[in-house]
Structure 1
Amino acid sequence: MQRAVILVIIVNAVTIGCETSAYLMERAGGLLHAIDRIALAIFTAEIAARLYAYRAAFFRDPWNWFDTIIVAVALIPASGPTSVLRALRILRALRLVSAVPSMRRVVGALLAAVPGMASIIGLLVLMIYIAAVIATKLFGDIVPERFDELPRSLFTLFQIMTGDDWGNVAQEVMEEKPWAWIFFIVYILMSTFVALNLFIAVVVNAMNDVEGDAAENETRAELESVRQELAAVNAKLDRLLIRTPSPSPSAELGSPVDR
């Protein structure tokens, strides 16, 4: 059933993408709309079946809330003021995250890394702010279209942090101040190679913790299964010993004729 739902999600995502093509809509628009409605009906039936099966426990799983919200958004009429919500139908493709266990583990690791990432984001924002103030003071008169005010300097430094056209920005400043390369290289090293790599380290560490917890839970489940099997075997042995009568003393010595 889970594999069938994954297949429906993939097919529905492809059909929604095909609806963006005017060529395909002219020739197969009715078919694409029909597939979309069938997929939505399947998703709704699946949510209803899960709700019937799990009852109150259905709402204790955050992934069930995730799936329900996505399907509920698709059920809103895509006409009038809510017509913009029609574009949100592609969010149904996000159900792959809840349907595929490996994707759920990745998302869980990202959520677990949020506290550590918040500290790194704060450090990165502080670093960019300090660099923007310095750049505005030093280069505002040289390249005013990039560093004349603090907001513009913040945007330019964010662009440099992503590696987008930073060489040309540095060359424009270095035409007037040749030593400006020191500022840009130090800033790139601190922002890109240090702060962004810290993001990766925190996420990888969180993923290792999640995978370790999953492996530990699996081991515990296996040990619990073995314990239950051993308990069942012991119970069977006890019943067999109770049913088997013990031999009497006369039977052990034999009858007088035998002697």
Structure 2
Amino acid sequence: MDPNSLQARFHRLRSNKAFELFVVGIIVFSALVIGAKTYDIPPLLSQVIVVLDWMITLFFLFEVTIRFIGEPRKRDFFKSGWNIFDTLIVVISLVPIEDSDMALIGRLIRVFRVLRMVSIIPELRMLLSSLIKALPQLGYVALLMFIIFYIYGAVGSFFFADVNDVLWGDIAISMLTLFRIMTFEDWTDVMYETMAEYPFSWMFYVSFIFLTAIAFLNMIIGIVVNVIESENRARQIEEEGEQPARSELEAQLVQLQKSVDQLLAQQATQRPPDKND
């Protein structure tokens, strides 16, 4: 068989939407199989799940092989971090370590196969890429939040340690208590407990919640949304840039076809009449 023909067939197969949906279905089924292992199931069903798990692993190996062979330039396959991730997950899943001391690692590797959903679905890849690109800006917000946590933790430890040593005993415990307050986990109980001795301590909690749960968290959401919109805009501009190029090429082909038709028509009219006529 011609290698180029095989490469073209696999390239069409890997780009086929039905094949992509089938791979997504296998990934979902793999997640269900992993979840089933966490239950106390009969030995026979456990053996069936092991067989299914190996079949899923072999299918993933087949799918990665198709994607590799279907790549026009094989070197470009490993330029994608997602392709490297998929290949490592599949290769490590093939190692028979179920009955060894590394069985726990084998189970963890199979859990990470669910992440292959991100490498298959472009929209999920875009969301994750946007989140990664937003990390530098999010880092500054997180640093500012840590400063606020540290200040409020110190203040809370100074004032409220005598009220409840379990919640405000030192700055580390105080910061954990503040995280509980930021997530609104029974924060009013903590506030009313300190208000019994410090009536105006409600200002401490209200100001902290305003800075963290309202201001900073909304700032984080705004940064992520802004990066996602920028990524969508960049992809849209790229697609719009490719579309005029294709339209121009199609127009040139149509014009060339008209020129050829006109040339053939002129040759037909200029042809000398048949002697028999």
TM-score using structure 2 length: 0.83
Corresponding residue for residue 82 of structure 2: 63
Identity %: 25
Aligned partners of 1:73 and 1:85 also within 8 Å: no
The one-letter code sitting in structure 2 at the alignment partner of 1:82 is: M
Unpaired runs of at least 5, structure 2: 1-18, 273-277
CA 1:247–1:14 in structure 2 vs 1: closer, same or farther (change >3 Å)?
closer
Corresponding residue for residue 4 of structure 1: 22
Following the alignment from structure 1 to structure 2, what is the Cα–Cα distance between the partners of residues 42 and 155? 45
Corresponding residue for residue 13 of structure 2: none
Following the alignment from structure 1 to structure 2, what is the Cα–Cα distance between the partners of residues 115 and 242? 62
Unpaired runs of at least 5, structure 1: 252-259
| Alignment root-mean-square deviation, CA | 2.1
Following the alignment from structure 2 to structure 1, what is the Cα–Cα distance between the partners of residues 131 and 267? 64
Query: Looking at CA atoms only, which structure, 1 or 2, has the larger radius of gyration?
Result: 1
Residues 60-209 of structure 1 aligned to structure 2 (within 5 Å): 60-76=79-95, 77-88=97-108, 89-209=110-230
TM superposition shift of 1:81? 3.1
TM superposition shift of 1:52? 2.3
Following the alignment from structure 2 to structure 1, what is the Cα–Cα distance between the partners of residues 198 and 180? 21
Q: Tell me which moved more, 2-11 or 218-227.
A: 218-227
Following the alignment from structure 1 to structure 2, what is the Cα–Cα distance between the partners of residues 230 and 13? 49
SS at match of 1:21: coil
Corresponding residue for residue 13 of structure 1: 31
TM-score using structure 1 length: 0.89
Q: Tell me which moved more, 232-241 or 155-164.
A: 232-241
TM superposition shift of 1:246? 6.9
Q: 1:219 aligns with which of 224, 229, 240?
A: 240
Q: 1:42 aligns with which of 59, 63, 66?
A: 59
Following the alignment from structure 1 to structure 2, what is the Cα–Cα distance between the partners of residues 92 and 113? 25
Runs of 4+ aligned residues of structure 1 deviating over 4 Å after TM superposition are 246-249
TM superposition shift of 1:188? 0.8
Summarize deviations over 1:71-115 as a string: whole Å, max 9, x none. Answer: 233233234231111321121111111111221221122112112
Corresponding residue for residue 3 of structure 2: none
